[in-house]
A and B are shown apart, each in its own frame.
Chain A
Amino acid sequence: MRSRVAATLVLAATLAVAACGGGGGGGAPAPGNGDQPYFDPTIYSSSPGASLAAAGEGGARTHHQMTLRGNTVDYTAVAAHLAARDLTSGADEASIFYVAYTLDNQDAATRPITFFYNGGPGSATVWLHLGSFGPKRLVTGDPGTNAPTPFPLVDNQETLLDISDLVFVDAVGTGYSQAIAPNNNQTFWGVDQDARVFRDFVIRYLTVNGRLASPKFLFGESYGTTRSAVLADMLETAGVQLAGVVLQSSVLNYNSNCGVVTLALGCAGYVPSYGAIGAYFDLANPAPADPVAYAQQLRAFTANTYAPADATYLASHTLPAAGVLNQLQGFTGIAVSLWTTNFNLDPATFQQRLLLGQLIGRYDARVTAPVGSALASQGDPSSTFISGQFTAAIGGYLGNSLQYTNASTYVVGSSAINTWDFSHDQNPLPDTIPDLAAALAQNPNLKVLSLNGYHDLATPFYQTELDLARLGGPGNLTLRFYAGGHMTYLDDVSRPSERADLGSLYQSASVTR
């Protein structure tokens, strides 16, 4: 199984073609019901210098029906391009590819609309589109690595489509989105530049589709939360009031995450995650009875004991008393000997050292693979297990179910990160808490929902709490925690919980509107 998965990833492009027959998940529309298939003749490129001569805005429109918790639901899917236009000059900036799902026969003025995007930067929005709250989802078996492949694409009983219309947007240079001359893709590869073109796309989408009055939500994941903070501020300044911002696995401040920047940075933000993961593998001693209470215990230990000791260690390389090292071993399962040599323990080392002979996942630390196996060969078995499957599925789904065909390759991951302009507010790396604060200053009704996985070693939950605490009080902010990794929605237990919390957000945002 594991070697087969690796082969799938390496041959993703080939398999995407072969998987077309199975990618539709039974959702192929019946002919004669007003469906409009679309063959898009444009060839798209994710290269930094790539540029389209002009905007083409054609797209496919298909009608679908699903049974959602006992009710029959009719919806329309549009897979198309729409040009983002400069806010003041009106000039075309980029041709943005999106897939929109709208529930049929609804009042556009009151019906919420949510814009989804993954991050990277340089990632297409395939993970949220096919894994989270869209009308279809891939069955991944997370956190196992023995799910049948190809992952079946099924009607999603946790879709948000009964609550909100859903628009999955690909960033410039990902999916089929590309800059329009005189810009090229690189023009929009920066924190501010990317948020501006998203702002201009959102405004254009709302305008063209008559949705300016709809309650509006943003749903970003990972770098998508960085984007959301900047974008929310820009939209509020432009006069587009948001109802809510959902932050899935946040990295709001690159300057606080020791897994992303230099190891001179304290790793205290990761320690509660190390404890939760140690407990998952039954390595915590004493074994905790309840994950929620345990997380609270870990937060308190980190704030009161580990963080001050780590600050001392970073300043003078002085280790704390043996009792603290013993406590760390008890909480996490990482031996005193490793804490002694790596007191400021970084997540990459934790991934390698928690289990003898095994590598645990970065995105989902509950996923394991033997060192030397194909699944471990790329540094994150949780990512390797699903990447090829999602990549293979999106092409078939767009072509067969959504009837959008294109000869060029839908780019799941571009090279954008290598030349991305990470600078923001005079800092080389973005801190977007001030942007989120500025959005809240302009819109007192804006609700923020932070969703976190206990077993995520990319954006640790406690660091996200510390970052958001800078806003200075709960107010409009809600934080929720689930079993699972970076993509908590892949977990079959956490996804319904997450959907319920999202339901509360949409309800409260519409009440205060």
Chain B
Amino acid sequence: MKQLAVLVAALAFAGAAVAPVGAQSVRTSASVQSPLCDPCVPPALRNTTPAQPTEGAALQSQVEQKLRQSFDAADVRHTGALTREQARAAGLGVVANNFDQIDTAKTGKVTFEDLKRYLRSRGAKF
């Protein structure tokens, strides 16, 4: 983008920090070190082939995939099930905080299918 190049040149003064002589003499200052262009991408990405937008079942399958990835990341032993403690240690609060409601069979462990059933029962569309 031509306007970006112009901005870069105009703002190339960057970083005129004020040297501290002591706390009393310091003034807090600010500068723009790069042009503000929001949203923008670097030139190399402008010709990216855009991804097709998803909706309906395809979108909901992306949602399921995201949740499954988080679940699998927490399942470090690859057993397909998590205890409350394992979920908490992995930062999977959505499971740890709602464990009793998800663990309807009271086995002390929940699977991804248990989580799915729980979220669907609360209105999740996936």
Contacts and interface: CB of A to CB of B under 8 A. Distances in A.
Contact of B16 (A394, A409, A469, A471): A409
Contacts of B29: 13, 16-17, 395, 409-410
Interface stretch (A147-155, A396-404, A477-485): A396-404
A352 B32 CA distance: 25
B39 A458 contact: yes
A88 B42 CA distance: 33
B33 A437 contact: no
A211 to B, nearest CB: 16
A16 B16 CA distance: 10
B33 A414 contact: yes
Contacts of B54: 431, 433-434, 470
Contact of B23 (A10, A405, A470): A405
A477 B28 CA distance: 41
B7 A379 contact: yes
A contacts with B: majority SS: mixed
A119 B36 CA distance: 10
A408 B46 contact: no
Contact of B51 (A122, A262, A431): A431
Q: Is the interface of B mostly helix, strand, loop or mixed?
A: loop
Interface in A17-65: 17, 20, 39, 41, 43, 46
Interface in A90-144: 118-123, 126
Interface stretch (A234-242, A290-298, A306-314, A317-325): A234-242
Contacts of A469: 55
A429 B30 CA distance: 31
A39 B48 contact: no
B122 A444 contact: yes
Contact of B39 (A16, A222, A394): A222
Given A254-B41, A441-B63, A412 B13 contact: no
Contacts of B2: 379
A412 B31 CA distance: 6
A254 B45 CA distance: 11
B39 A410 contact: no
A399 to B, nearest CB: 4
Nearest to A222: B38
Interface residues of A, number: 94
Contacts of B70: 237
Contact of B17 (A126, A380, A407, A412): A407
A408 B17 contact: yes
A413 interface: yes
23 contacts: A10-B13, A12-B31, A12-B32, A13-B16, A13-B30, A17-B29, A20-B28, A123-B38, A126-B30, A222-B38, A255-B51, A380-B3, A405-B27, A405-B28, A408-B17, A411-B31, A412-B33, A413-B33, A414-B33, A425-B62, A433-B54, A471-B59, A472-B55
Interface of A: 9-14, 16-17, 20, 39, 41, 43, 46, 87-88, 118-123, 126, 222-223, 226, 233, 236-240, 251, 253-257, 260-262, 265, 348, 377-380, 383, 387, 391-392, 394-396, 398-399, 404-418, 420, 422, 425, 427-429, 431, 433-435, 437-438, 440-442, 444, 458-459, 467, 469-472, 486
The 10 closest A-B pairs by CB, nearest first: A239-B93, A379-B3, A13-B16, A407-B20, A399-B28, A255-B50, A39-B23, A441-B124, A410-B30, A434-B62
